[in-house]
């Protein structure tokens, strides 16, 4: 007679144990990924500091050359996200012998994505800069660094594939350490080529671009050598030519297509915000740059949590464990929301202090400080939307996150930012409120989608 009553506490204890296990796994996976993603920003910051201290004009060339390559690079990273998801699914299915096939497909994809991206940037990049009607000396100065940046894309694509594969195996640590080793390589080349050390010619922005290219090539080689030397590489199928599996190849590409298009929409939308800020005035551009840099640093943590969520959800999905998919997603969402709230409570009262770290100009601070404070309103939904989107892709829902990002950031945010900033005259504050609206819309739609799918059987 007591058995049903005794069973409920036991089930509750089992659920709590599974939640604790998922939480521990999420944090263990996400920590090194956050460190790795911060390394990506660190490389760009290092280039900017070295080139900027050499010459402000050369920093302008460097920044302009970087802009079009960043759009292509972000889209390419999205196209390769299927490597991470499919690796986690194979592990969840208990088919560790098939994860090598995922890696081999990813390396082929990344190679061709890198080659095509390089060719497109070299052929069309300089023409694109001229179309923007920028000053001729600025375009001329940015052209060669843009070409050198383009040469870094094949190597970077290979390193992303290797890193995503290891993350899918729940081994993100090597990628993090390799990324920071690449940062050291980048700094050394920067110090040699940008100012022209030891009798070398001073190359300025071109030297900074070569430093990035050299560091990314080193990163690719380091990651691939690590994988080839893994003791379990043969058991994972790394050295085995896989049997043709059209369904798996299509699914791997399909996940990448969805993420790649999403990334493109977001990058293009936020690039348009720079244009709107430019229409407001030079000070608005500077203030927006401060806000965007702070938010980008914060965003590295949700990116890491998104990877952890994708691996946890992907494994549960591969094992056809519906409750496990839902539980893994909810654990990741809860951690993300707590992080967003905590960092908002730190930034809000310290907006002036943080902005002072970037500039002492009173007029710029007058615009940046209130804008940065208002940004705290969207940190939670913005963090949630990237984690939920990746969790949805991991469970096979690829195109709804893409449509949501298109609607929220292109259809809603861009025109709303222009309308509030220019016709209504709210300036930078109007732009930030548009981001707040878009973030809540995106986060709400994606959370509703996850809840809807959680009520259906896999």
- Same domain for 231 and 256, yes or no, is no
Is 354 part of a structural domain of the chain?
A: yes
- Crossing angle of the two packed helices 282-318 and 362-375, in degrees rounded to 10: 30
Is 266 part of a structural domain of the chain?
A: yes
Mean pLDDT for all residues in the chain: 88
**Pair of tokens at residue 140:** 């001329």
The pLDDT value recorded for residue 292 is 81
- Same domain for 215 and 271, yes or no, is no
As a whole number, mean pLDDT of residues 168-179 equals: 91
C-alpha closest to that of 88 among 269, 277, 319: 319
- Same domain for 269 and 148, yes or no, is no
> Is residue 155 very low, low, confident or very high in pLDDT (cuts 50, 70, 90)?
very high
Predicted confidence (pLDDT) per residue in 119-129, tens digit: 999 998 888 87
- Same domain for 231 and 356, yes or no, is no
What number of other Cβ atoms are within 10 A of residue 123's Cβ? Answer: 10
Residue with tokens 């993350």: 167
- Same domain for 239 and 278, yes or no, is no
Indicate the DSSP class of residue 2. Answer: -
- Same domain for 150 and 259, yes or no, is no
Going 212 to 294 to 28 to 312, the CA torsion angle's sign is negative
- Same domain for 221 and 313, yes or no, is no
Of 32-41, 207-216, 321-330, which gets the smallest average pLDDT? 32-41
Higher pLDDT, residue 291 or 426: 426
- Same domain for 353 and 441, yes or no, is yes
Q: What is the pTM of this model?
A: 0.82
> Is residue 58 very low, low, confident or very high in pLDDT (cuts 50, 70, 90)?
confident
End-of-domain residue from the set 194, 218, 243: 243
Indicate the DSSP class of residue 320. Answer: T
As a whole number, mean pLDDT of residues 49-58 equals: 80
Instruction: Using CB atoms within 10 Å of the CB of residue 94, give its burial: 0 to 12 exposed, 13 to 18 middle, 19+ buried.
Output: exposed
H helix count then E strand count, the chain = 17, 0
Is 4 part of a structural domain of the chain?
A: no
As a whole number, mean pLDDT of residues 63-88 equals: 83
C-alpha 80/C-alpha 73 separation (Å) is 11
Of 51-65, 195-209, 342-356, 399-413, which gets the smallest average pLDDT? 51-65
> Is residue 384 very low, low, confident or very high in pLDDT (cuts 50, 70, 90)?
very high
- How many domains does the chain fold into? 2
Is 441 part of a structural domain of the chain?
A: yes
Predicted confidence (pLDDT) per residue in 275-327, tens digit: 788 788 867 877 887 888 788 888 889 988 998 899 899 999 988 999 999 99
- Same domain for 261 and 201, yes or no, is no
The pLDDT value recorded for residue 1 is 45
Is 3 part of a structural domain of the chain?
A: no
Please give the residue range of the domain that contains residue 223.
Answer: 28-243
Is 93 part of a structural domain of the chain?
A: yes
Predicted confidence (pLDDT) per residue in 11-34, tens digit: 677 777 888 888 888 888 888 888
Of 66-75, 140-149, 375-384, which gets the smallest average pLDDT? 66-75
2 pLDDT above the threshold of 70: no
As a whole number, mean pLDDT of residues 427-448 equals: 96
- Same domain for 109 and 220, yes or no, is yes
- Same domain for 374 and 303, yes or no, is yes
- Same domain for 370 and 422, yes or no, is yes
End-of-domain residue from the set 243, 263, 279: 243
The string of DSSP codes covering 373-384 is HHHTTTHHHHHH
End-of-domain residue from the set 243, 267, 298: 243
With a pLDDT cut of 70, the percent of the chain lying above it is: 97
Is 20 part of a structural domain of the chain?
A: no
383 pLDDT above the threshold of 70: yes
């Amino acid at each position: 007679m007591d058995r049903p009553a005794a069973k409920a506490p036991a089930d509750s204890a089992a659920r709590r144990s599974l939640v604790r296990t998922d939480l521990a796994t999420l944090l263990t996976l996400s920590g090194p990924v956050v460190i790795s993603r911060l390394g990506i920003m660190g490389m760009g910051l290092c280039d900017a500091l070295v080139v900027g201290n050499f010459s402000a004009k050369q920093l302008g060339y460097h920044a302009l050359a970087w802009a079009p390559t960043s759009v292509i690079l972000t889209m390419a990273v999205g196209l390769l996200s299927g490597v991470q998801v499919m690796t986690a699914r194979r592990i969840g299915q208990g088919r560790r012998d098939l994860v090598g096939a995922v890696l081999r497909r990813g390396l082929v994809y990344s190679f061709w994505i890198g080659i095509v991206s390089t060719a497109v940037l070299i052929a069309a990049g300089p023409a694109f800069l001229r179309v923007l009607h920028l000053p001729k000396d600025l375009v001329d100065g940015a052209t060669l660094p843009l070409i050198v940046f383009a040469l870094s894309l094949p190597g970077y694509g290979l390193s992303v594939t290797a890193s995503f594969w290891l993350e899918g195996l729940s081994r993100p640590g090597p990628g993090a350490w390799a990324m920071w080793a690449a940062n050291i390589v980048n700094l050394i080349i920067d110090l040699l080529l940008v100012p022209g050390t030891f009798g070398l010619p001073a190359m300025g922005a071109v030297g900074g671009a070569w430093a990035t290219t050299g560091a990314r090539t080193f990163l690719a080689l380091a990651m691939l050598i690590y994988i080839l030397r893994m003791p379990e590489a043969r058991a994972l199928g790394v050295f085995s030519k896989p049997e043709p599996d059209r369904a798996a190849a299509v699914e791997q590409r399909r996940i990448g297509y969805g993420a790649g298009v999403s990334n493109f929409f977001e990058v293009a939308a936020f690039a348009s915000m720079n244009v709107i800020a430019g229409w407001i005035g030079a000070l608005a551009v500077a203030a927006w740059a401060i806000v965007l840099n702070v938010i980008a640093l914060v965003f590295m943590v949700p990116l890491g949590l998104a990877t952890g969520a994708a691996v946890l959800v992907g494994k549960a999905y591969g094992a056809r464990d519906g409750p496990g998919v839902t539980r893994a997603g909810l654990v990741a969402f809860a951690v993300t929301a707590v992080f967003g709230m905590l960092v908002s409570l730190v930034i809000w009262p310290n907006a002036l202090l943080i902005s002072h770290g970037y500039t002492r100009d009173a007029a710029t601070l007058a615009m940046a400080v209130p804008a940065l404070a208002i940004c705290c309103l969207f940190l939670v939904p913005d963090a949630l939307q990237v984690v939920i989107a990746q969790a949805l892709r991991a469970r096979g829902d690829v195109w709804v996150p893409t449509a949501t990002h298109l609607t929220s950031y292109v259809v809603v945010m861009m025109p709303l930012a222009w309308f509030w900033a220019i016709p209504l005259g709210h300036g930078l504050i109007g732009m930030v409120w548009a981001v707040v609206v878009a973030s809540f819309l995106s986060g709400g739609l994606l959370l509703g989608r996850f809840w809807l799918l959680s009520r259906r059987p896999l």
